[in-house]
């Protein structure tokens, strides 16, 4: 095992979960891959490939029939109904946000 000391400024998790058609809604058929690609492109355009890590993930527990769920750390917030056209504004918002405070 190797431990890496890598702490990105922002870690964005994009739900790319896909459920069977007869199950609950999921993010994959609602543009999850496009949201992931748009967020990565937005980070790349800003020269933030190392500072901002954008990771596809399984279900984040907030799947909906419209759009994709995105979670971000260190802010500790979830964003639902995200569309590819939201990528630039969402990245602006996430970079400006402060980390969540423990309760």
Q: Tell me the whole-structure pTM to 2 decimals.
A: 0.87
Q: What contacts 24+ positions apart, CB below 8 Å, involve 26-34?
A: 26/59, 26/63, 27/59, 27/63, 27/64, 27/67, 27/68, 27/69, 30/64, 30/65, 30/66, 30/67, 30/68, 31/67, 31/68, 31/83, 31/84, 32/56, 32/68, 34/84
Residue 100 in this model has a pLDDT that exceeds 60: no
Mean pLDDT of all residues belonging to the chain: 89
Residues 23-39 pLDDT 10s: 788 899 889 999 999 99
pLDDT at res. 6: 84
Any domain includes 4: no
pLDDT at res. 68: 94
Q: What is the CATH number of the domain that holds 30?
A: 3.40.30.10
Give the residue-averaged pLDDT of 35-49: 96
Any domain includes 5: no
Quote the domain boundaries for residue 21: 10-96
Any domain includes 45: yes
Any domain includes 86: yes
Counted domains in the chain = 1
Residue 75 in this model has a pLDDT that exceeds 90: no
Any domain includes 103: no
């Amino acid at each position: 095992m190797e431990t890496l000391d890598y702490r990105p400024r922002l870690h964005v998790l994009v739900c790319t979960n896909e459920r069977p058609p007869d199950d609950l809604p999921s993010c994959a058929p609602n543009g999850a891959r496009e949201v992931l690609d748009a967020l990565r492109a937005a980070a790349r355009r800003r020269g933030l490939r190392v500072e901002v890590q954008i990771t596809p993930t399984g279900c984040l527990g907030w799947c909906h029939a419209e759009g994709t769920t995105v979670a971000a750390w260190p802010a500790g917030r979830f964003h639902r109904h995200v569309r590819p056209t939201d990528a630039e504004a969402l990245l602006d918002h996430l970079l400006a946000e402060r980390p969540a405070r423990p309760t």
